[in-house]
Amino acid sequence: MTLLLLHGPAKTASRKKLIELKQKFDPNNVVVFEEGSDLATILTNLQSSSLFNEERLIIVENPPDEFVSNFPLSPSPLTLILWFDHEVDTKKWPQFKPLFFPEAKEVSVFPFLDLLAGKDNKAFLEMQKLKNAGFDIYYLLTMIFYLLRSLAVTPKTAPPFVKDKLQRQRRGFSLDKISQLYKDMLDIDFKIKSGLLEKPQAEFLLVLKFLGH
């Protein structure tokens, strides 16, 4: 049983690491419990095993303090990741290997998304900045999917300034255009994983699609 604890104020960087870890597992063997999930349900899932005894990944986001004194040892191969959107006292979680993400190292992906939504050529430069900071194309695609979903339907939990920004950005995108871009990104993702596109080509193409070429 592998136990990891990701925490710190640099949420973008820690989310990036979380995505990298998830990609090592079969999606059918990954379970994510968001903040506020029922503790009993989480504990029951931890005690279960996969059908073919394959290694599972369970991610618990911002778990309650009582979780640490209740989680059972799994009878099957398991990686358990606790993800926090803030710094925590790791002494409360002595069994877990901590990975800390300080604010000083934060490089935000949101300026890149804003440039894409604005159909601005500067998106190429911003993408290079993200690549230099260690962000790969799979993370960029994940966040682009997030952007497109937000353009289609504003997240209920979005703060007012984000809702206002999305309303402005949405003027440049019809639902048909959003749908087509989503299909384009899925196609790029498939071609990368199938070896039909090199990553540099894919990076160039995904920005180009937003610019309307």
**pLDDT value, residue 178:** 94
Q: What is the CATH number of the domain that holds 200?
A: 1.20.272
Q: Please give the average per-residue pLDDT across 6-30, as a whole number.
A: 87
Residues 28 and 114 both lie in one domain? no
* Residues 116 and 176 reside in one and the same domain: yes
Confidence of residue 51 (pLDDT cuts 50, 70, 90): low
Would you mind telling me the total number of residues written for the chain in this entry? Answer: 213
Whether 118 and 88 map to the same domain: the answer is no
Kindly report the CA angle at 209 between 147 and 131, in degrees rounded to 5?
A: 65
Structural domain containing residue 14? 2-105
* pLDDT tens per residue, range 81-97: 999 988 888 888 888 89
The average confidence (pLDDT) of the chain is 86
Q: Which residue has the higher pLDDT, 205 or 135?
A: 205
Q: What is the Cα gyration radius of the chain?
A: 19
Any bridge partners for residue 59, and if so which?
A: 32, 81
Residue 158 clears pLDDT 80, i.e. is over it? yes
Q: Which of 84, 105, 126 is at the close of a domain?
A: 105
Of 105, 138, 153, which residue is a domain's last? 105
Would you state the pLDDT for residue 207? 94
* pLDDT, tens only, 95-132: 889 998 876 555 688 899 999 999 999 999 999 888 87
Q: Is the pTM of this model over 0.75?
A: no
For residue 76, is pLDDT > 80?
Answer: no
Q: Which residues contact 172 (CB under 8 A, 6 or more apart)?
A: 117, 118, 119
